[in-house]
Amino acid sequence: DVKPEGSQYVVVDGGHLLHKIVWRQQTTFVAIADRYVEYLNNKYGQDIAVFFDGFPDDDKKSTKNCERLRRATHFSPDVMFHEETVLQYTKEKLLANECNKKRFIELLKKALQKANICVQQAVEDADLTIVNTAISVAPRCDYVRVVGEDIHLLVLLTVLASTHSNVSFPKVWKRENAR
User: Domain boundaries in the chain?
Assistant: 8-168
What pLDDT, in 10s, does the model give residues 111-156?
999 999 999 999 999 999 999 999 999 999 999 999 999 999 999 9
Q: Write the DSSP assignment of 79-139 as a string of letters.
A: ----TTPBP-S-HHHHHTSHHHHHHHHHHHHHHHHHTT-EEEE-SS--HHHHHHHHHHHGG
Q: Is the pLDDT of residue 178 over 50?
A: no
Topology given in CATH for the domain delimited by 8-168: Rossmann fold (3.40.50)
What is the enclosing helix (H) or strand (E) of 71?
helix 65-72
What is the chain's alpha carbon radius of gyration, rounded to the nearest angstrom?
17
| Numbers of helices and strands, H then E, in the chain | 7, 5
Cβ atoms of 20 and 91 within 8 Å: the answer is no
Give residues with Cβ within 8 angstroms of 79, minimum separation 6.
88, 89, 94, 97, 100, 103
pTM: 0.85
Return the amino acid letter for 104: F
